[in-house]
Structure 1
């Protein structure tokens, strides 16, 4: 009951705060891409603060010292809306590969568009891969990291989706490191779940992978193997 009340308060504040913040973000359009990112990410930091103090959702990061000093590609497990917030605080300035439908969401989507994402039509196959490579290389040159959720959608804890090749394809073509990430955010903030359960989310960052000499399928399989094994280890840490 208490978790439900806290979650309701968090949602109410989010509803109140987001529309004016989106308008502020739109007004920042003349700024540089990094300037707009700083403005939009401040909303993210505020949401993380609120979900921590109101709902008791905290986190810890294992392997933070493994984060490279140069722009790289994050390939991560996707369980919750939480990681789309927290990664903006854990990793350097970033853009996401996401489905273009998200940009149509009033206020939230408008602000999201100002972060310079790589918005794709996932049904377009090879054209989507070409877009990821072209725009991904451009974002990396601008000094942004690229965040990709290979499973494409949020997957419930204990389950595994099909790992799509887009992120690995970009890495092998752009010749930049891949940083695999596992986490258990879905245990506390589930997919489409109104209630946020108090507790500490574990985020585990793996050793960066150099894609040199690797095919995209091989790299994708290596990332998938590490993430899924690490998910099991994280689950055992909590028991």
Structure 2
């Protein structure tokens, strides 16, 4: 037997790989440009036209939803990926706590593009990002810099009839590793007495994963699947008090649910 190790054959690039790479570069450039247009062109007039902060916030969220829907459509039409959303009508209902696993960078873009008046928890660093600062500030999104503040603001948002989007992992999933969920989502559900709406996200082959640059696209065209389910699979939050034990119990339920769904 030769002392040389056998090398795996190179992965064949398919589905117009170079065109997909070019389209991906264009998409990310448009995303950054869109953030600047929202901040400097579309959002400033809102302060003049709508004096009520709540109305102004809702208008800003409508603009973001439409912008994200256009972005998702652009990536689909240019052949970067295909996608399917099962149960999309459920996402249109107001006052939901939408919880999802987080395999890809654009998961939140997909979800907000489908959820009216969506609030979400975002990285505090985005409030300093020149492309995103205007959007996250005007839309009233919640920075993730203080756990207790996050829970209080999310619960208040739900009580106002807004939907809140959250990834219980707190960051993108690391492929091949067990899910690690934080308890913030459980505390939000308990405080607001809202049974979560669960969204399982699958992407095959994986795209825009954690620690993978945008230009490292898969050899074949990815397909996203979003499966929306109501919160009936969970322990009824309305019957529980906001305690560490209840939060741990719900978090374990969430972990089991997403682990089983992602493995299916």
Report if TM-score (shorter chain) is over 0.5.
yes
Tell me the equivalent position of 1:237: none
Q: How many residues align?
A: 227
Encode CA deviations 1:159-206: one digit per residue, 9 max, x unaligned. 334200011101111101211221124813333431355332011122
TM-score, normalised with respect to structure 1: 0.84
Tell me the equivalent position of 2:213: 193
TM-score, normalised with respect to structure 2: 0.77
Bigger radius of gyration: 2
How far, CA to CA, are the matches of 2:195 and 2:89 in structure 1? 15
Tell me the equivalent position of 2:28: 11
Tell me the equivalent position of 1:202: 225
Aligned partner of residue 169 in structure 2, secondary structure: coil
Please tell me whether the aligned partners of residues 94 and 116 of structure 2 are also in contact (alpha carbons under 8 angstroms). no
Please tell me whether the aligned partners of residues 177 and 208 of structure 1 are also in contact (alpha carbons under 8 angstroms). yes
Tell me the equivalent position of 1:180: 198
Encode CA deviations 1:74-96: one digit per residue, 9 max, x unaligned. 11111222111110133332111
How far, CA to CA, are the matches of 1:25 and 1:145 in structure 2? 23
Tell me the equivalent position of 2:238: 212
**Distance change (3 Å), C-alpha of 1:98 and 1:15:** closer
How far, CA to CA, are the matches of 2:40 and 2:152 in structure 1? 29
Aligned partner of residue 43 in structure 2, secondary structure: helix
Aligned partner of residue 147 in structure 1, secondary structure: strand
**Structure 2: which 5+ residue stretches go unaligned?**
1-16, 241-245
How far, CA to CA, are the matches of 1:38 and 1:162 in structure 2? 32
**RMSD of Structure 2 on Structure 1 (CA):** 2.3
